[in-house]
Amino acid sequence: MQKHEKHTRDPRFHIVKRAGMSRGKALLIRFLAILAALLLCSVLSTLLIGANPLKFISTLFSGSLGSSRRIWKFAKDSAVLLCISLAVTPAFRMRFWNLGGEGQVLVGALASIACAYYLRDSIPNPLLLLIMLVAAVLAGAFWGLFPAICKAKWGTNESLFTLMMNYVATYLVAFALMEWTKADGSSTLGEVAFGHLPRLYNEYLLLILVVLALTVLVYIYLNYTKQGYEISVVGESEKTARYIGINVGRVITRTVLVSGAICGLAGFLIVAALDHSITTATVGGLGFTAIMVSWLAKFNPLIMVGTSALIIFLQQGGAEMSTIFNVSSAFPNIVVGIILFFIIGCEFFIHYQIKSRVSHKKGGVGK
Amino acid sequence: MNGWINYLFNAIALGMTFLYGSVGEILTEKAGHLNLGIPGIMCMGGAGGCIALQLMYRSGIPPMLIVIISILAAFLSGVLMGAIYSFLTVTLHANQNVTGLAMTTFGVGMMKFIISKIRPLQYMYALDYFRFPFSDRTDSLKYWGVMVYLAVVVAIVASLVLSRTRVGLHLRAVGENPATADAVGINVTAYKYGATCIGSGIAALGGLFYIMDYSGSPEAYLNIEPFGWLAIALVIFALWRPYLSFFGSMIFGALFVAGSFIPGLLGLTLPMSATPLLEMLPYVVTILVLIITSIRKKRENQPPASLGQSYFREER
Amino acid sequence: MNKTVALEMKQVSKYFGSLAANRKVDLTVYRGEILAILGENGCGKTTLMNMIAGIYFPDEGQILVDGQEVVIRSPKDAFRHKIGMIHQHFKLVDLFSAAENIVLGINDGERYNLKEVNARVQEIAERYGFHIDPKKKIHEMSVSEKQTVEIIKVLYRGADILILDEPTAVLTPQETEKLFAILKRMRDDGKSILIITHKLHEVLSLSNRVAVLRKGEHIATVETASTNPAELTEMMVGQKVSLNINRPEPENTQDRLLVSDLSLVNADGIKVLDDICFTARSGEILGIAGIAGSGQRELLETIAGLQHPAGGRILYHNPKTDKEEDLRDKTPMQIRELGVRLSFVPEDRLGMGLVANMDIVDNMMLRSYKRGHSLFVDRKKPKDLADRIIRELQISTPGTATPVRRLSGGNVQKVLVGREIAAAPTVLMAAYPVRGLDVNSSYTIYNLLTAQKQQGVAVIFVGEDLDVLVELCDRIMVIANGRVSGIVDGRTATKEEIGVLMTQTRAEIESQKEKEGSDRAEA
């Protein structure tokens, strides 16, 4: 009975859901979160690698924007990440947790490079590029098809399924590399001299323009087409979708196919515009980063332009830090991880409100 | 040693990496949280353990104590990661998938950063301590060090706690139906934090085991991530039961090393390029298991009912 | 009588956003009494009780147990003060056994031993007259068994104050009788029992005192012996409201929907619909009455093409072609493609009828978005429709771009009903369309339904308020346990008559049917 005493005081605060928050205020909270995260990162970088906070911030900027070459690289990397983010978005809108972007991009890239590798100059380059594109898109879609069908039919856990498909794709690439380099046994494929996309000013601009156009297309697809509308309905409430007669299984399958196809396209772009080769690390975790880019943008393609740029900005800045201070190239991942924690955490303050009992008394009586 | 037995011993030893990861994830999922950060957490476990080993390098501390301290350090690194995850998903109601992925990004990066700063010599010295009592064997038995037995003990204890104790009953209730658990006065938040942190601590041991016992190579730390993903998948394979996860782990271990044993054992000469295809096996089998369990829907074999959803009491 | 106060609430208030669920409520509970908490749906009964049970935390006011102020922040705190609540939606873990559920959350420092728990559960059961198998899993239990588990759970913790939230809503009359006997035994054992209900006859037959709530406020607490139904009703609804629902005579009725021998088995293998036969006619409102969960929802969903019946036929008579179509086993899309204009206002408005996070315009499109061959959706017409419905039904909203989840319950329902009517249906099904709505909104809905009937629509109205059913409907079909127990004329039927039909058991319905059959044979 002694415990009673302890409990006869009011709890200081409790948590309630917000009815809604103005966009400006929400943006401010996110901005503050990023600021706080950067502060923590700069403190950490002082502790871990002995760089003072100012140096950290200035390196971040110079890493991405320090020279025209860096700006181009920044724009190119952002575009690639944006492209993959766009790809995973339709499925996420439907609450289909496609963690397989990585593998879908990789098989797209593999299909593209395989076309270039085998067809070489037997056909004209534009035709080759077209075949590479189609092969990549089909391969990406095909990689998403299995998990989608199983999800639609039996409700198979899609996140783990797609995750495993990533590794299957990785080993498939490893297999292809071994087959192709049997002669020297090096397992590394040099630059394939065929199926290069034409240069437009430099090798990056065409890619960037294509991705920007794709952004607009995906935005229109999701917001203004019947299929996009169906995706939203299925994502928000499967029960409602059934009630109005949407064939939920079909929408799931179709949408994941679209997602996979765009992933394949991303793979094609990586191969035909940038790498002209393939390794098991061609996608290098971008498939996972894209999930977070998409989620941070609340699955809105236009906002993703900003979020993907933010992530790349941090990664390049971090990479610059690791070069200057001669530390592990994994340093940028730490920075990105911390920023993500803060942004993820700050959502709470946008959706919920901490109310103290005292202040509520004042507000409550008037009503 | 007979080749097949050698293969079996190797498979079981490697399986312990999965066992740590999956037992940890089972505890977390029993509390209703799907932690996709396990790969990152296992990495951090390895990093934590290695830092401890480096600090004890040439310190004159008895080997047994060195092993215990570094195991504790790995466990605590996992607990720390689990605490971050719990704070975000339990207290701040963040999306579990996204948080988990961010944990993995962070954890993998952090580990690579940390271990790159330590010279391998400064932690690899303890390899023989970990492989006690079989450190001087040359066959697969050398992997049967202290952490193999620890893994089995952890799995058995976790199994008993879940099925035979009040704490286990409460934890299962939290994962099945947090509102009900809350209504009968179970501190849902505390259980979620507790299960996630302890689960993460256990998973973290998997990373240390892989680096300091099974692999024994200075580059081992670069290969931990896939074990984390497979450990998460293994949970489904094991129907959320630690003792089944014990058998699942061995099967996964056997599949994982099949590529380097089976052809030799069967006297086959496979082309080099067959290796990646054999390495694909565990992932393909996992996919098949995922599909089969989803087709055969049994009431008792389903994930905890509230898995993936955050719990907010004043929801109306 | 020697009365000791067990629990007291003083000036307790609770707000949800700007809505006051409870306002300055005072309540006193004595030892050894049954106190009924009476009030209409949505008057704040459950919220008030939830504050005693630790589910909600009061925004203002005090709660006293045994004369001492207490803070009940969680159900655990409530148990510490020997308060236990049996919720309407059972809070049980389906995968656990009865005994596991009963000990869940108890930490008495003793070793966890299920055998001892089983024995103690049996002991409690015998003391008060329950029947229970402690080892049975919850998901294998009937509703009444689950309720038993809930009550024993509370008793096991030594609760002296028991709160029951509408315990009879899901019970058969026999089960109700048994429960009441048990509750009386507990009262005589010195326990305080609070029972939330809106059924007058239960209040009168069971309770010692009645506390009446209206719109979140405490109106009065009276001795049951010194009150009568009329007085209680008046306190419950405020000034005596004669419903006065306009009910024109049906004109040009024509059989529109013919349902025969319809049966449905749910996922758990239980027969939820059993040989349902009825006809819905154009120009008429057919009411469906029954205890909650008797199969009303399943019936409407089956007709709408959302469930696959195990047997029977659903024939639709198309007034345009004069042909009959079988709707059984067709998807909602196929039904629409047949030219059948079937509108359905489901019970779960935000979860099924609407998409909570979408705005009004996008919700308007749900039915019509597929029209035309364009790849793109046309938001112009839905926008016009949204504007029109907002104007005509006086929906209060900041604009058409507001997500419907931000609207109040009444406005949400107007959006839904407005959309379903805008589809110009020939059959309109509405499940509990006025649940949780204020009086004004309710009348708007009644008038809309009546207007539809006058336009020749076959209206099917599932209701829970018998007063409304007998004033609104032309015919009333009563469902009990998934079977039709009777179809009565809305103009002549009495509430008592319907009430009797509602509580019939399967056996009773069957014997009645047999009797009718033999009567017919004799004739």
Residue pair C251/C284 in contact by the 8 Å Cβ criterion: no
| Chain B residue nearest residue A333, CA to CA | B109
Tally B–C CB contacts below 8 A: 70
Is residue C80 one of the residues assigned to a domain? Answer: yes
**Consecutive H or E run containing C275:** strand C271-281
A279 and chain B in contact, CB less than 8 A: no
pLDDT tens digits, C171-183: 776 788 889 999 9
> Could you tell me the pTM of the whole model?
0.86
Report A:159-198 residues touching B (Cβ under 8 A).
159-161, 163-165, 167-168, 171-172, 174-175, 178-179, 182, 185
Query: How far is residue A161's CA from residue A146's CA, in Å, rounded to a whole number?
Result: 9
Residue B316: pLDDT over 70: no
CA dihedral over A42, A43, A49, A53, signed as positive or negative: positive
Domain identity same for C116 and C205: yes
- Please name which of A133, A266, A138 lies closest in space to residue A195, comparing C-alpha atoms: A133
Is residue C19 one of the residues assigned to a domain? Answer: yes
Query: How far is residue C124's CA from residue C147's CA, in Å, rounded to a whole number?
Result: 15
How would residue C163 be classed by pLDDT, with cut points 50, 70 and 90?
Answer: very high
Report A:247-276 residues touching B (Cβ under 8 A).
none
Residue A362: pLDDT over 50: no
pLDDT for the residue A2: 36
Residue pair C275/C483 in contact by the 8 Å Cβ criterion: yes
C112: which chain B residues are within 8 Å (Cβ-Cβ)? 164-166, 169
Is residue C30 one of the residues assigned to a domain? Answer: yes
Angstroms from A232 CA to nearest CA on chain C: 9
User: Which of the residues A41, A159, A164 would you substitute to probe the B interface, choosing the one with the greatest number of B C-beta atoms within 10 Å?
Assistant: A164
Domain identity same for C150 and C19: yes
Domain boundary among C183, C208, C237: C237
pLDDT for the residue B140: 85
Domain identity same for C441 and C405: no
A228: which chain C residues are within 8 Å (Cβ-Cβ)? 377
Report C:268-307 residues touching A (Cβ under 8 A).
304-306
Q: By three-state DSSP, how is residue C315 classified?
A: strand
| Of A111-120, C314-323, C454-463, minimum mean pLDDT range | C314-323
A121 and chain C in contact, CB less than 8 A: no
Residue pair B210/B224 in contact by the 8 Å Cβ criterion: yes
Domain identity same for C233 and C249: no
Is residue C347 one of the residues assigned to a domain? Answer: no
pLDDT tens digits, C42-93: 678 888 999 998 888 898 899 999 989 999 888 888 888 999 999 888 889 9
* Alpha-carbon distances, residue B128 vs A201, B46, B74, B123, B124 (angstroms): 59, 17, 18, 11, 9
Give the ipTM of the model, two decimals please.
Answer: 0.90
CA dihedral over B165, B168, B173, B179, signed as positive or negative: positive
What are the sequence ranges of the domains in chain B? 3-301
Total of domains in chain C: 3
User: Which of the residues A223, A230, A236, A240 would you substitute to probe the C interface, choosing the one with the greatest number of C C-beta atoms within 10 Å?
Assistant: A240
Alpha helices in A158-247 (DSSP H): 158-180, 205-224, 226-236, 238-243
Mean pLDDT of A226-238: 94
Please enumerate in sequence order all residues whose Cβ is within 8 A of that of B99, keeping only pairs 6 or more positions apart, or say none. A341, A344, B37, B85, B88, B89
C94: domain CATH number is 3.40.50.300
* Alpha-carbon distances, residue B105 vs A106, A167, A289, B101, B112 (angstroms): 19, 17, 8, 6, 11
Residue pair C254/C282 in contact by the 8 Å Cβ criterion: yes
pLDDT cut 70: percent of chain B above it: 98
A7 and chain C in contact, CB less than 8 A: yes
pLDDT tens digits, C11-54: 999 987 667 889 999 999 999 999 999 887 667 888 899 999 88
pLDDT for the residue A365: 33
Domain identity same for C366 and C475: no
Q: Which chains touch C (3 or more CB pairs under 8 A)?
A: A, B
C369: which chain A residues are within 8 Å (Cβ-Cβ)? 226, 229
Instruction: Quote the Cα angle for C170-C171-C177, to 5°.
Output: 150
Q: Which chains touch B (3 or more CB pairs under 8 A)?
A: A, C
Domain identity same for C173 and C266: no
Angstroms from A344 CA to nearest CA on chain B: 6
Report C:141-160 residues touching A (Cβ under 8 A).
none
C77: which chain B residues are within 8 Å (Cβ-Cβ)? 185
A288: which chain B residues are within 8 Å (Cβ-Cβ)? 101, 104-105
pLDDT for the residue A87: 95
Query: How far is residue B6's CA from residue C380's CA, in Å, rounded to a whole number?
Result: 73
pLDDT for the residue C508: 67
Domain identity same for C117 and C258: no
CB contact under 8 A, C70 and A4: yes
Count of all residues that appear for chain C in the document: 523
Angstroms from C333 CA to nearest CA on chain A: 5
CB contact under 8 A, C94 and B170: no
Q: Does C39 or C135 have the greater pLDDT score?
A: C135
Instruction: Quote the Cα angle for B61-B66-B71, to 5°.
Output: 160
pLDDT for the residue B1: 64
Q: What share of chain A is helix, strand, coil (3-state, %, to 5)?
A: 75, 5, 20
Q: Does B306 or C194 have the greater pLDDT score?
A: C194
- The boundaries of the domain holding residue C357 are 352-423
Where do the DSSP E strands lie in C87-174?
161-165
Domain identity same for C30 and C148: yes
Domain boundary among C189, C209, C237: C237
A36 and chain B in contact, CB less than 8 A: no
pLDDT tens digits, B167-215: 999 999 999 999 888 878 788 999 999 999 999 999 999 999 999 999 8
pLDDT tens digits, A125-153: 999 999 999 999 999 999 999 999 999 99
Q: Does C500 or C4 have the greater pLDDT score?
A: C4
Task: Answer whether CATH 1.10.155 is correct for domain B3-301.
Answer: no
Is residue C95 one of the residues assigned to a domain? Answer: yes
Residue pair A188/A279 in contact by the 8 Å Cβ criterion: yes
Is residue C450 one of the residues assigned to a domain? Answer: yes
A227 and chain C in contact, CB less than 8 A: yes
